[in-house]
């Protein structure tokens, strides 16, 4: 029996993943489309929750700010490698690590011979996408595993048609834990909305603070379009 989707309540602190949750997955990381009305919905929900809305994304903060301009929302970026408190500037978290420069050289050299495989550098990590070349999945995995084996500071993370190297201590629970210690999040009921295995850490953190998680695939039958409609309802409630 399908669960009943709860509507946004005024005592929530809302933590939102970006790709696959607010935005539809695109063939390339730079090809995502921000649907009309999304920024207005986020602004409206944030006003209703006294600012307790955060974006928790694997993307770097610059990407998120560009997509959601003119908003510069609090949250966690790079899987928690960077955190921005309300009204503040993004700063590296305790989990942040610098990616070995030689890894980018190795990945880009390999990708140059694999049409359709894309390398996405991040502030504290790197992703290798094979959505446009699914037959390269095993080769991308082996290459990324070889990098991770060289450095215990980084861990290999499966993603949507991609593999990512991120700092071993970085995850989406970290920004939830940090933000829940600060106004306006403190004392509210945290709700984490995400679509991927990387979001499960954030959902578990929300549960530890008396809240819960909503999974796009399990709780939103219409996918990210339904998430956006849900936000629009919450903004106008």
Provide the pLDDT for residue 1. 36
Residue 227: CATH number of its domain = 3.40.50.1000
List per-residue pLDDT tens for the chain, 237 residues long. Answer: 346 899 999 999 999 999 999 999 888 888 889 999 999 999 999 999 999 999 999 888 999 999 999 999 999 998 888 999 998 988 888 877 888 888 999 999 999 999 999 999 887 889 999 999 999 999 999 999 998 887 888 888 888 889 989 888 889 999 999 999 999 999 999 999 999 888 999 999 999 999 999 999 999 988 999 999 999 999 998
Q: Could you tell me which of 76, 99, 102, 83 has the C-alpha nearest to residue 166?
A: 99
Domain carrying residue 217: 12-95+170-236
Percent residues over pLDDT 90 in the chain? 68
Query: Is 119 a domain residue?
Result: yes
Q: Could you tell me which of 37, 94, 93 has the C-alpha nearest to residue 61?
A: 93
- Asked whether residue 114 falls in the same domain as residue 128, the answer is yes
Query: Is 2 a domain residue?
Result: no
Of the candidates 11, 17, 63, 199, the residue annotated as catalytic is 17
Whether 65 is a known active-site residue: answer no
Q: Considering 140, 167, 194, which residue would you say is the last residue of a domain? A: 167
- Asked whether residue 85 falls in the same domain as residue 187, the answer is yes
Whether the Cβ atoms of residue 129 and residue 165 lie closer than 8 Å to each other: no
Alpha-helical (H) ranges within 79-213 are: 101-112, 137-149, 173-179, 200-208
Whether the Cβ atoms of residue 161 and residue 134 lie closer than 8 Å to each other: yes
Provide the pLDDT for residue 3. 63
Q: Could you tell me which of 54, 80, 88, 223 has the C-alpha nearest to residue 155?
A: 80
- Asked whether residue 86 falls in the same domain as residue 201, the answer is yes
């Amino acid at each position: 029996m399908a669960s009943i989707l709860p509507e946004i309540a005024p005592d929530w602190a809302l933590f939102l993943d970006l790709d696959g949750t607010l935005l539809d997955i695109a063939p390339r990381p730079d090809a995502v489309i921000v649907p009309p009305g999304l920024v207005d919905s986020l602004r409206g929900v944030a006003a209703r929750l006294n600012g307790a809305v955060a974006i928790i994304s694997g993307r770097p903060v610059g990407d998120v700010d560009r997509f959601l301009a003119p908003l510069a929302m609090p949250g966690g970026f790079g899987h928690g490698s960077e955190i921005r408190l309300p009204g503040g500037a993004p700063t590296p978290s305790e989990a942040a690590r610098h990616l070995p420069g030689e890894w980018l050289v190795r990945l880009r050299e390999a990708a140059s011979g694999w049409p359709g495989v894309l390398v996405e550098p991040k502030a504290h990590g790197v992703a290798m996408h094979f959505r446009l070349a699914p037959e390269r999945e095993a080769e991308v995995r082996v290459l990324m595993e070889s990098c991770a084996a060289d450095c215990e500071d980084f861990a290999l993370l499966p993603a949507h048609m991609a593999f990512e190297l991120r700092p071993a201590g970085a995850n989406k629970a970290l920004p939830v834990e940090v933000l829940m210690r600060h106004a306006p999040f403190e004392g509210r009921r945290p709700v984490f909305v995400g679509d991927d295995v990387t979001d499960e850490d954030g959902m578990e953190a929300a549960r530890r603070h008396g809240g819960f998680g909503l999974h796009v695939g399990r709780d939103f039958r219409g996918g990210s379009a339904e998430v956006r409609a849900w936000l629009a309802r919450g903004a106008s409630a």
